[in-house]
Structure 1
Amino acid sequence: MGEITFSGLASGMDTSSWVKALVSIKQQSVTKLQKSKSTVETSNNVLSTIKSKVTTLRSSIEKFTDAKFGSSFDLFSKNKVTTSKDSVVTANVTADAAKQNFDVIVNKLATATKATSNLGSSALINGDTKFADLAGGKAKTGSLSLYVDGEKKEITIDEEDTVDDILNKIVDAGGTTRTSGSLSGGTWNPPTTTNNVNATVQDGKIVISGNNGKEVVLGASSDESNFVKVMGLVKNSDTGAYESSSKISSVNTSSKIMEAFSGLKDGTFKIGNAEFTIDENTTIKGLISKINSSEDAGVSAYWDASQSELVLTSKTEGAFNINIEKGTSNFTDLFGYTTTTTDRWGNSTTKLKDQQLGDYAELTINGTTLISSSNTVTSEISGIEGLTLTLNSVSKADESGTINPSTVKVEQDSDALLDAAKSFVTAYNEAISNIDDNTSYGDALYGDSALTSLRTNLRRTATASIDDGTMKLLSDIGITTGKANNSTSTTGVNTLQIDEDKFKEALAKNPEAVKSLLVGDNKGTSTSGGVMNKLEKIVEDSLDVSTGYFDAKSKSLSSKIKSLENSITSAQSRVDAYQARLEKQFSNMEQIISSIQSSYSQLNI
């Protein structure tokens, strides 16, 4: 906060206003310097924007001239490939592929080998299986409805109930039917009592049926338990019995594997080139995750709950075995992937059990039949350099029985070249327009001859004719100035526009001539090549960090800003000192006047 002063108490004069007015005059020199600094800062900001536009222009030019670094950077060598039936075959292509068309018929797809476990009844439910552990722990306990001839009976499934416990509750809830005794041929047949409902579990399946002519309906929408769903029970419309649609797995994949499978020993085993370890903490789900996360295993694994099987599928198509080795654990034997025998001398031999081998793909290219171990058919198989086919489905015959091939077409990627040309035109126009907008009279960089010279050189080069080739001007490929034919207007004269149809037409008719016009031989040994090479040289020179215009100009402007900042600081210090001196002088004056007035007052007394 500034000091609070009361001026002119003795003299009656407004000395504060005098000081303010005098200081304001001196402050004008500081204000002038600040305005100069602001002007230079604006120029520097504008310069930075123009440099950014020129840098973008360089990037757009390099899309063409980078071809000198090899075919992978050469837009003119870039191909594109299309297929008439993507559902049958798709393709990828490199610059090495020749422009051509050919027909493909897929007779057979390659398949991958599968190895399926054979755990037998050990993975299926039985009477001792705890219901709450089924369905990955998602089996629900609670109420379950049973209807016998329409009469509702309800049982409660408890947390600790086994399958046998539940089946016995169903049988008991169904009640019994008693028959009267009878005398037949002198033989007395005593009364009998039989259950109205039969319920059994065998070979991993549940069967629940009515007896004594009773109709049984199991389950209601109000039930708390999902017993019917977990057991996959479906009612047979002919017999009226409920039966599991498939064998029910007793395996909970979250369970520890050594607890889930009796007799399983800890240790190691191998799939592919990857070794896995089983211990007391290994879960089935965790083991499957490890197998799927391993690149060296070369398989994908999943637990098929409907069949109680651990299925390994090779990631490589073709009739190749999945490598499975026993190791120190008996996992591969117990799961049925291998079998180990021991002779009378104690020597063990482990053999790989039969696997469902994959198959090879078969296709024809222009009538020639080829066999591939994979659905990805590389040039080594097809003999077509630079082309990779992906087989997606078998070719189908039409109504007449004729199999129509999928036509594969390899051609120059004119879209990539057109996009690059459009990008160049846009970048060129933005760079030129930014220079024009800031070098006219009154603009931030007015009078900057180096910048206007850059604009002139870009413009002259973009519209100049090259020495060699059948196409000599950018206008030959549809890139022209904005000025209309026979027009005297200068509006848009420095910018470019592109006729996309004419550009594509030029590429289609003579791609080599288009390339020669834009980049010449593009060997990078001189700048006498195409239009883009010459423009690149101009832009590169201006952006050079050592000798280029932009860096030199920016350094000069930054130096001016720094110098002006120092001048502002010094000038402000002088103004502040001047103000302090004035305030002191007026303060002294007031004190003298006050003293004189005091003395005069005493004399009058």
Structure 2
Amino acid sequence: MSQIRFSGMASGLDTEKIVKELMKAESAPLYKLQRTKQKQEWQQTAYREINTLLLDLRTKASDLRYESFYTNKKAVTSSSDAYVSVKSSGKPSFSSYTVSVNKLAEPATGASAVFKTSGGISSTSSTVGSDFSFSINSGVDGKEASFTVSSGDTVEKVISDINEKSGTTGVKASFFNNQIVFTSTSTGDASNFTIGNVSGSNNLGIGAIDTTVAASGVSKGKDLVEGEVIINGATLKISSNNFTYDNMQFSAKQLTAANSPVSISVTTDVDSMVSSIKEFIDKYNSVIDTINKKLTEDVYKSYQPLIDSERSDMTDDQISKWEDKAKSGILRRDSILSSAVSSMRSSFNTSVPGLTKYDNMSKIGITTKNYYEKGKLYVDEDKLREALTTNPDEVIQLLTKLPGSSATTPEQKFQQSGVFERLYSQINDSMKQITEKAGSSGSGSTADTSTIGLNLKKLDLDIDTWEDRLAKIENRYWKQYTAMETAISKFNSQGGWFANLMQ
């Protein structure tokens, strides 16, 4: 049952306003909790956004930390693409190949028959002008289906009836450019069919045919004819002119002349490697730039998270601008992010043991230029390309080397690993720390056991407790003021009664 409240009826006081002002003072601890919760939520979101960036960077580093990523990058060229073209699909075994095309493969084809329509048949909605019937025989197993067409049937209906029985006949029909086309659903000799028992004339042009007999508009089904190529002296049969051999995709286009084979050369695709490394460095620079900005963002102490009563007095634009200031510096000098940037920079700057000429990223043209750019990397393409060309094996070891069995501690594994192997591990560790601090975006409120997640749960409980406490305090104030109003009312009533007695 609601409590009856009297607001200044006897005293003339603005009780509503007085209680509201009193509750503002009483609500200070609640407001502090609400602002703290909002800051924690902003910090959680900011951490998770950084983790998303690190995940993308880790994915790119994962490719670059494997030796096969580089060794499989091969550029292949043909001395005559007009005869044989080729491209790499893996790691070829040889650096050169000779290819002769003795015979091109002829793919298996299916039987077909084309009938030209007449009498105004121009689309599938056109109608047949007279009654007629015919049958289709599969030709191989002798299965046959009969069809009866009535005057007024549409071309679409005739085609539909034929296609419904294709499981028996092995033949489907279609309409194209004022023609009825019968096509086998299989290839080779087994695809041949006959059309017979044609009764009555028709403007679809359908007549008796046997696809094994040469005739206008009729194509016989043919089996596959294998081709023949000679690669590095080995004679090979091919079922298609496009075929894969030794992790390369060949395309035989025409016969080569005697004693004039096509030469295929295989070289390391340095341009592709350089492009991949540059793409990663660009992403890396973007990520550390974002993190460094978060670490040095200005803090505006006078801009605190807004509570509901403050929001109600502001426009959306004012709220947005205020919150931009309030969020600024939410990760300033954060130890997890500072450690993440430091560890990534160390991955690039630390030399890899066991290598001679190219044991450091600076020696292959990847360097920093300015201390104040906080780890931004620059790529000297010419120097990188030269290193990959002159000594690709050592450069690949610099980037991908795995620690030896003697490395048992994280520090030893770091020292003995290649740059991208280190970087992948360091990013992974940083992501784990962030997840422990802020949880992952996929975790629900009940499943989130991160530091911030647990803090938010406690804050929710504290906020609920304070809201219950403030409701009781407000009720107490109203009881007091209601009692006062009641007493004043009684006093005024008694005063009036005494005044009447004195008259």
Distance 1:471-1:460 versus aligned 2 partners, 3 A rule:
same
Correspondence 1:561 to 2:448: no
Distance 1:499-1:286 versus aligned 2 partners, 3 A rule:
farther
Correspondence 1:537 to 2:425: yes
Structure 2 counterpart SS, 1:91: strand
Contact 2:96 2:263 in 1 (8 A): yes
> What is the CA–CA distance in structure 1 between the aligned matches of 2:40 and 2:233, rounded to whole Å?
74
> What is the CA–CA distance in structure 2 between the aligned matches of 1:552 and 1:311, rounded to whole Å?
65
One-letter amino acid of the structure 1 residue matched with residue 485 of structure 2: E
Contact 2:109 2:221 in 1 (8 A): yes
Residue 375 of structure 2 corresponds to: 494
> What is the CA–CA distance in structure 2 between the aligned matches of 1:524 and 1:66, rounded to whole Å?
18
> What is the CA–CA distance in structure 2 between the aligned matches of 1:567 and 1:586, rounded to whole Å?
29
Residue 27 of structure 1 corresponds to: 27
> What is the CA–CA distance in structure 2 between the aligned matches of 1:291 and 1:389, rounded to whole Å?
40
In the TM superposition, 1:243-258 aligns within 5 A as none
Write out per-residue CA displacement over residues 132-190 of structure 1, whole angstroms, 9 at most, x where no aligned residue. 4967878899xxxxxxxxxxxxxxxxx55xxxxxxxxxxxxxxxxxxxxxxxxxxxxxx
Structure 2 counterpart SS, 1:260: strand
One-letter amino acid of the structure 2 residue matched with residue 593 of structure 1: I
Q: Give the CA deviation at 1:502.
A: 2.8
Write out per-residue CA displacement over residues 429-484 of structure 1, whole angstroms, 9 at most, x where no aligned residue. 34323332333474223454343223212211211111121211112222222x34
Residue 242 of structure 2 corresponds to: 376
Distance 1:115-1:58 versus aligned 2 partners, 3 A rule:
closer
Residue 189 of structure 2 corresponds to: 322
Residue 209 of structure 1 corresponds to: none
Distance 1:529-1:291 versus aligned 2 partners, 3 A rule:
farther
Contact 1:65 1:532 in 2 (8 A): yes
**TM score, norm. by length of structure 2:** 0.68
Write out per-residue CA displacement over residues 365-385 of structure 1, whole angstroms, 9 at most, x where no aligned residue. 689987645413543xxxxx3
Contact 2:107 2:239 in 1 (8 A): no
One-letter amino acid of the structure 2 residue matched with residue 413 of structure 1: D
Contact 1:303 1:310 in 2 (8 A): no
Identity %: 25
> What is the CA–CA distance in structure 2 between the aligned matches of 1:465 and 1:48, rounded to whole Å?
32
**RMSD in angstroms over aligned alpha carbons?**
4.9
> What is the CA–CA distance in structure 2 between the aligned matches of 1:549 and 1:303, rounded to whole Å?
63
Correspondence 1:414 to 2:299: no
Residue 384 of structure 2 corresponds to: 503
> What is the CA–CA distance in structure 1 between the aligned matches of 2:406 and 2:120, rounded to whole Å?
76
Residue 36 of structure 1 corresponds to: 36
Residue 60 of structure 2 corresponds to: 60
- One of 91, 100, 123 as aligned partner of 2:95: 100
Write out per-residue CA displacement over residues 208-243 of structure 1, whole angstroms, 9 at most, x where no aligned residue. xxxxxxxxxxxxxxxxxxxxxxxxxxxxxxxxxxxx
One-letter amino acid of the structure 1 residue matched with residue 340 of structure 2: L
Distance 1:563-1:133 versus aligned 2 partners, 3 A rule:
same
Residue 45 of structure 1 corresponds to: 45
Contact 1:89 1:392 in 2 (8 A): yes
Distance 1:392-1:301 versus aligned 2 partners, 3 A rule:
farther
Correspondence 1:389 to 2:284: no
One-letter amino acid of the structure 1 residue matched with residue 331 of structure 2: L
Structure 1 counterpart SS, 2:496: helix
Distance 1:289-1:422 versus aligned 2 partners, 3 A rule:
farther
Distance 1:41-1:260 versus aligned 2 partners, 3 A rule:
same
- One of 123, 134, 145 as aligned partner of 1:279: 145
Q: Give the CA deviation at 1:590.
A: 1.3
Residue 550 of structure 1 corresponds to: 435
**TM score, norm. by length of structure 1:** 0.58
Residue 474 of structure 1 corresponds to: 361
- One of 328, 336, 344 as aligned partner of 1:458: 344
Contact 1:542 1:549 in 2 (8 A): yes
Q: Give the CA deviation at 1:57.
A: 1.9
Q: Give the CA deviation at 1:592.
A: 0.9
Write out per-residue CA displacement over residues 459-512 of structure 1, whole angstroms, 9 at most, x where no aligned residue. 11211111121211112222222x34xxxxx33132223233332222122111
Structure 2 counterpart SS, 1:491: helix
* Larger strand proportion of the pair: 1
Correspondence 1:588 to 2:483: yes
Structure 2 counterpart SS, 1:81: strand
Structure 1 counterpart SS, 2:75: strand
Contact 2:123 2:175 in 1 (8 A): no
Structure 1 counterpart SS, 2:358: coil
One-letter amino acid of the structure 2 residue matched with residue 424 of structure 1: F
Structure 2 counterpart SS, 1:95: coil
> What is the CA–CA distance in structure 1 between the aligned matches of 2:173 and 2:17, rounded to whole Å?
91
Q: Give the CA deviation at 1:575.
A: 1.9
Distance 1:106-1:23 versus aligned 2 partners, 3 A rule:
same
Contact 2:6 2:481 in 1 (8 A): no
> What is the CA–CA distance in structure 2 between the aligned matches of 1:137 and 1:510, rounded to whole Å?
67
Contact 2:134 2:147 in 1 (8 A): no
> Unmatched 5+ residue regions in structure 2?
149-156, 198-207, 214-219, 300-328, 408-412, 440-449
Distance 1:585-1:311 versus aligned 2 partners, 3 A rule:
closer
Contact 1:92 1:389 in 2 (8 A): yes
One-letter amino acid of the structure 2 residue matched with residue 466 of structure 1: V
In the TM superposition, 1:145-294 aligns within 5 A as 159=129, 259-261=133-135, 270=140, 278-280=144-146
Contact 2:122 2:178 in 1 (8 A): no
Q: Give the CA deviation at 1:29.
A: 1.4
